[in-house]
Chain A
């Protein structure tokens, strides 16, 4: 059984650019959630995908968007990057049919200059 993986591990972008972050869910999990963790803060929920559909969204603007693929991997896209988007982006997978614990990936650290 493989755990949640994320790529890339680090990324540097400039303001106004677009970025795509990727997540592979744990084997057998069909639900993926994305979180943003700013320095010194707890993770903040962005959105969740279940069976390729958005299944809930936190307080993030539309320039944060996502996709889930048939193999349950997922992407987080952020357009028109702002300096405040600099953070650690965490992906977590879970299975509604199981105990529903969310298993987190190692994160992608994004720096916007």
Chain B
């Protein structure tokens, strides 16, 4: 069965420290993976997708098919990075992106 696991419910770091939010997935097909972020009192929004291979707000994530992981990293955390982060795996229906399977989320707290 398809599954996304985020082992940490809460990650607390100091400003300027490196951040790594872990995500592991279980999927027999070719995965498409995403990181979504939800800042306080805001809606869920896309942070990045592995297919784009881009860096957003200093965050990067590399798909490691061997380890079935898609960890989110940032070298120097900022206070404004404090938010809830969700890793998600996309299944496709008829060629269209369909079901997003989300992990339970990791709350990142960046302390001054």
Contact = CB atoms under 8 A, between A and B. Distances in A.
Contacts, number: 63
Most buried by A among B46, B95, B100, B101: B100
Interface residues of A, number: 27
Interface in B84-109: 86, 88, 91, 93-105
Contacts of B88: 42
A58 B99 contact: yes
B57 interface: no
A66 interface: no
Given A90-B44, A104-B45, A106-B43, A50 B96 contact: yes
The contact size tier of chain B is 20 to 34
Q: 3 closest A-B pairs (Cβ-Cβ)?
A: A42-B102, A100-B97, A56-B93
Given A55-B94, A92-B100, 9 more contacts: A35-B100, A42-B103, A43-B102, A50-B96, A55-B96, A56-B91, A56-B99, A102-B97, A102-B100
Interface of B: 4, 6, 36, 43-46, 49, 86, 88, 91, 93-105
Interface of A: 4, 31, 33, 35, 40-45, 48, 50, 55-56, 58, 90, 92, 94, 96, 100-107
